[in-house]
Amino acid sequence: MIEIHDRSELVEFLETGMSLEGVAIQGVDLREGCELLANRDVQHSFFLGCRMDRDCMIDLVQRGAHVMEQIPQIPYIPFRNRLYDPIELFDAFDGGDPCSYCDCTDAEVYEYWRQNGGAETQSIIHGLFQRIHDQCITDALYEFLEERKGLKRVAVMGGHSMKRNDPRYREVALLSRRLTAMGYLMISGGGPGAMEATHLGALLVNHPESVMDEAIGILAKAPDYRDRMWLAAAFEVLSLLDASIDPGDSLGIPTWHYGHEPPTPFASHIAKYFSNSIREEGLITVAHDGIVYAPGSAGTIQEIFQDAAQNHYLTTGYASPMIFLDCHFWTHEKPVYPLLETLARGKDYHQVLGITDNVEGVIEFLETRQPVAVSDPHWSFCSQFCHDES
């Protein structure tokens, strides 16, 4: 399906003379541009969350278009056509007043979600528009990845409770910084702890390593995400960076399901979801070239076995590398690795499992292990037994 995301794209498409049938026009402001469509065939076209006057909408519907409006009673845009960024989510934040976060779009959407049932909303309207929002985020996410298809995609999973003054925090940031410099797109769940360290390292890829250490020193004044100054410390770091040095891209994939934790403002692009289950499965899936597991607890272990299930059954058509950082932690404190190694024995993904204690070991593993493709990705009952393929 062809998708059009802004007025200039619409004008360019109309100049081709092609029909709009089956085309999705998403989030385009048509309040002063409906005349562009006056003599066009709009039969079976889709106008999703576009801003237009009533006469324009009536005219389009009468001529066979499908129009779905943005409703004004919700504090977010369901039919959004791009990912979030820190400027949008933290639009009202003032580093001198930590409580200004409560007036930001991110906090307001979380409060809306919480007041309308959270993960168990009973409202067909709120539930429907949240799902539309999440599908639009997924659509924008894959468009973002398509624009960066030359980059390897690696995620870091790890505990949200990892403190900024923990040596492992610096280690994750250093790993992310080095991988970003090597042409990897770094991805995480977009929250605090190990996730934040991932985006800090990517952000500072073009700065000296000493700047990263200086930043961690500032952040360590509010080491835990429950500290009142946690977000303010992050914005202090951002304010001190040399604007003439390009920041590195990274992708955060957080959720309002855990909206009590603000997302990190260090991620350049943020795919924030309402549904945690969709977000978790998507996060695992897009990390095509591997996932690094730093120490974590229940959430990280959940992600490990979601990843293992994808690899075990090759549901995506390939098995991606899984590398565990901290041998003692993953074999004794949370002995997941021995179980996973036993589970993988005899399976394709056994060859893409690894464990190490240092950044160099992670990088060597990711550089030498490629995703393992399934031999017959298109098998199904019908194709095997019921359709004559000859």
Whole-angstrom distance, CA of residue 295 vs CA of residue 56: 55
What's the pTM value of the predicted model, to 2 decimals?
0.94
> 305 and 176 in one domain?
yes
**Residue from 133, 109, 183, 193 nearest 153 by CA:** 183
Residue 352 lies in a domain: yes
What is the spatial distance between Cα 83 and Cα 138, in angstroms, rounded to a whole number?
A: 9
In a domain, 291, yes or no: yes
CA distance 190 to 196: 7
Rounding to the nearest 10 degrees, give the CA dihedral for residues 147, 149, 151, 152: 140
Q: Do residues 221 and 367 both lie within one domain?
A: yes
Residues 339 and 236 in one domain: yes
Q: Answer whether 162's CB lies under 8 Å from 295's CB.
A: yes
| Residue at 98 is within a domain | no
Any domain includes 134? no
Q: 31 in a domain, yes or no?
A: yes
Q: Is residue 131 one of the residues assigned to a domain?
A: no
Residue 390, in any domain of the structure = no
Torsion-angle region of residue 49: left (phi > 0), alpha (psi -120 to 50) or beta? left
Q: What is the pLDDT along the chain (390 residues), one digit of tens a residue?
A: 899 999 999 999 999 999 999 999 999 999 887 888 988 999 999 999 999 999 999 999 999 999 998 877 899 999 999 999 999 999 999 999 999 999 999 999 999 999 999 999 989 999 999 999 999 999 999 999 999 999 999 999 999 999 999 999 999 999 999 999 999 999 999 999 999 999 999 999 999 999 999 999 999 999 999 999 999 999 999 999 999 999 999 999 999 999 999 999 999 999 999 999 999 999 999 999 999 999 999 999 999 999 999 999 998 999 999 999 999 999 999 999 999 999 999 999 999 999 999 999 999 999 999 999 977 667 788 888 898 655
Structural domain range at position 259: 151-373
In a domain, 386, yes or no: no
- Together in a domain, 63 and 185: no
Query: Rounded to the nearest 5°, which phi and psi values hold at 268?
Result: -75, -30
As for how many domains the chain has, the answer is 2
> Which CATH number do you get for residue 221?
3.40.50.450
